[in-house]
Amino acid sequence: MKKIGLISNNKNKKAVLIAKEAYDYLKSKKADVLLLADDTMPLKYNLPAVSTETLRKDIDYLISVGGDGTFLRAAHYCFKRQIPVMGINVGKLGFLAEIGSHDYATAIDSLLNDSFKVEERMLLELDIINKEGKNKKNFEKLFSLNEFVISRNAAGKILDIEIVINGFVFNEIRADGIIVSTPTGSTAYSLSAGGPIVDPGSSVVIVTPICPHSLFSRSTVISLDNSLRIKLKSKNGRDVLSSDGVRQNTELDAGDELIFKKSNIKLKLITFEENLFFKVCKEKLIK
């Protein structure tokens, strides 16, 4: 019997309720279900739960109940072992969380019967070197499904960066921040900042400035066949890095270079429909 992990949006009462219903349904089907010890649902209903490490190590599939933010949290548990993830949507858009909250039973039946497809999504990989050209101290390689964001640590400060493609300084930007997005993330923060919608099957990265101090700064779509680096030029204070909406502990310094490339690891997205991305774009963004 496959082991199935189940997590939910801890701040959404409906998500916690749907997660409990999904848990009960899985158990009625004799499924082996693992819950996270620090999630609201097992605490509220006094259910057995495991550590994050055990969840990552033992599960064969992971179900997220919430919106795309909850799906992203689930995805980060699954990157290294490339565990397939299924999303039950209790949020608004649902680009990643495909299953409607009323359709979870049908989806679970299909999952248990292996009647589903797996869509692979590209991950972006980030390394950092300091101004001496050495690996950033206390920094471990990061992965992102949606985007990395670099922003100023202090309000009212401007971020100064260079975008370097294949060793050539392509652009110098002054802005509140910069978004480096995957095609999957093109419908998220990057879109809100004026970036384009990109087919998630594309092997590109989208670089979008946040509130640029220029009349002509626009998003740039760059093939990942190229080398992409972003060099930090800001001299007052440190800059902040986040991955998929989660601020990282690493503080960025002037002279640091962020090296972005396509990861060999992919996210495995459990899906039951063809062309879902374009359907959601039409339903949520165009109509």
Would you name the residues annotated as active-site residues?
68
Say if residues 219 and 194 touch (Cβ distance below 8 Å): yes
- Report d(CA 253, CA 236) in Å as an integer: 9
Question: Counting Cβ atoms within 10 Å, is residue 264 exposed (0-12), middle (13-18) or buried (19+)?
Answer: exposed
- How far CA 238 is from CA of 30, 176, 210, in Å, comes to 52, 13, 17
- Report d(CA 10, CA 32) in Å as an integer: 22
- Report d(CA 182, CA 262) in Å as an integer: 9
